[in-house]
């Protein structure tokens, strides 16, 4: 009796064809843009790390840097 009240499911349409993968070859313009982005990231990363004077062991200054004061070197 259950089949009387349940309509049959229609068959699914076939899936669309898969898109073609992008080419592995990058143009010169794309390579240049990628290089500029990576260079900018390196500059920013280097700039931030050079301003930090402390590490897990404490202050990371040389003895010469410790001698400098607001009035000059001791």
In angstroms, the Cα distances linking 40 to 28, 34, 36, 45, 55 are: 18, 10, 6, 9, 25
Q: What is the pLDDT of residues 40-55, one digit of tens each?
A: 988 887 666 566 666 6
64 in any annotated domain: no
Question: What length does the chain have?
Answer: 74
User: Which alpha helices (H) appear in the chain, and where do they start and end?
Assistant: 2-5, 28-51, 63-67
68 in any annotated domain: no
Structural domain including 36 reads: 27-52
Q: What pTM was computed for the model?
A: 0.35
38 in any annotated domain: yes
CB count within 10 Å of CB 41 equals 10
Q: 54 is written with which tokens?
A: 């402390």
pLDDT score at 17? 94
46 in any annotated domain: yes
12 in any annotated domain: no
4 in any annotated domain: no
Q: State the total domains in the chain.
A: 1
Asked if 53 and 60 count as a contact pair (C-beta separation under 8 A), the reply is: yes
36 in any annotated domain: yes
Q: Compute the mean pLDDT over every residue in the chain, rounded to the nearest whole number.
A: 76
């Amino acid at each position: 009796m259950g089949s009387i009240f349940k309509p049959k499911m229609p068959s699914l349409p076939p899936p669309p064809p898969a898109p073609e993968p992008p080419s592995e070859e990058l143009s010169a313009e794309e390579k240049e843009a990628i290089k500029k982005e990576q260079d900018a990231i390196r500059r920013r990363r280097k700039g931030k790390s050079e301003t930090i004077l402390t590490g897990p062991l404490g202050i990371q200054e040389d003895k010469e840097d410790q001698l400098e004061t607001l009035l000059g070197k001791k």
